[in-house]
Amino acid sequence: MDTLHADLLVIGFGKGGKTLAAVVGRTGRRVVMVEQSAAMYGGTCINIGCVPTKALIHRASGRPQHADPDKWFAEAVASTATLTSVMRDKNFRMLDTLDSVTVVTGTAAFLDDKRVEVVAGADRLEITADTIVVNTGAENVVPDIPGLRASAHLVTGTDLIGSPDLPRRLAVIGAGYQGLEFAAMLHRYGAEVTVLESTARILPREDDDIASAVRDILQEEGITFVTTARVTRVEDAGDAAIVHYEADGVAGTVPADAVLAATGRAPRTAGLRLEAAGVRTTARGAIEVDEHLRTSRPHIFALGDVNGGPQFTYISLDDYRIVADQLLGEGEGKRSTTDRVAVPYTLFMTPPLARVGLTEAEARAAGRPVRVAAKAVADLMAMPRASIVGEVRGLMKFVVDAETDEILGAALLSVDAQELINTVALAMRTGVTASVLRDAIYTHPSSTEAFNEVLATVVR
């Protein structure tokens, strides 16, 4: 077996890991990056996550009514594959062009806390390292529903963005962010979509008014929702799957060409042999880490989705900053996960829903004195951009502390929400009050100036 020694070994080419490898490599230290597949250079985001899904969503919004759905979708998938291929190559070259960095393609598993074996076909490579970073991400969870895993029509999000074949009928199990993004996107390409959700409403973590506004928009576009739906089994019948469910004591079925399991993603740790390294995992299967992302072995770190934190690319990037601070000392080793305040996120439907901070329900449950500012986008006189671009659907909502004027949270269901939410998050991090955000001067016509009007409606 060949052997190799590194100052830093990174397992997984995700955002945090690749950034750390590049930064440490530029210092002249010996770095080895191990990635299981050449098709995943650059990580989940650019290959099967953020980039391809958002590219397909963008293309879907531009589909002319007369365009053939199947052809338009196939062309969109092909163009997206070209985009991800270019980005994947750039990510590979980012590391491969550094003399101190070696990229190894193969499956990694721990031999002990200092040694990792990498297997690629008949080839074996043993890597020893002073510092090891696990950055293997997460994988789709398929619920234990009779017949689902065996169905020829079961698909994941990865399957849907990689196939040129548009499913004519799509059943989505789960009405969270992933499920709704795919439901909205594929419906716009021409698929008939039914969403099955086990709870009483979609987006169960959001406030009732926000969830209702999202549902209204998607239902008006033609998506069917079945809530309180317990999927009992899936059976293949001819060229389709039949999804059986019960909702409020009534049995029903949904025929589908594809069944998307959108019930979450779990940390990808299978096959790593973490026990050989003495690395502990949590009850939910994530690698256990402290606030500096060190595992139960101080020289082994875990970045990104695999450590059980929020599953966002930008959190993985912040994970890199924390570990780089430990290894390079630029922040005196003080940076930690406890520094994170007001982390925003977005559901990329049309219009997008962006959220940050506490919901109204969460703020009230925490005993905070709450005032709410909310207004429908269609009623906003101070936001002509919505009318200019022809998208006046949605709702803007702020949750404010009634005593301190602190912004506790916001939900923006509107055009440009994915950008607006970053301004709100920055305000929350830096102590800018609701009144200051309300009275700020914004460019015109822009979506941001809606804050002038929405934050003037604090009524309860």
Catalytic residues, by residue number, are 444
Burial class (CB in 10 A: 0-12, 13-18, 19+), 150: exposed
| 177-182-184-187 Cα dihedral, nearest 10 degrees | -160
3-state helix, strand, coil in the chain (%, to 5): 35, 25, 40
CA distance 115 to 290: 22
CB 401 within 8 A of CB 408: yes
CB 88 within 8 A of CB 42: yes
Name the residue among 24, 1, 236, 288 with its Cα closest to residue 9. 24
CA distance 411 to 68: 35
CB atoms within 10 A of CB 260: 27
SS3 60: helix
∠ CA 74-418-85 to the nearest 5 degrees?
35
CA distance 449 to 311: 31
∠ CA 23-28-30 to the nearest 5 degrees?
90
Q: Which H or E run includes 436?
A: helix 434-439
CA distance 111 to 132: 13
Instruction: Give 139's strand partners.
Output: 266
Side chain identity at residue 269, one-letter code: T
Q: What is the DSSP string of 406-417?
A: -EEEEEEESTTH
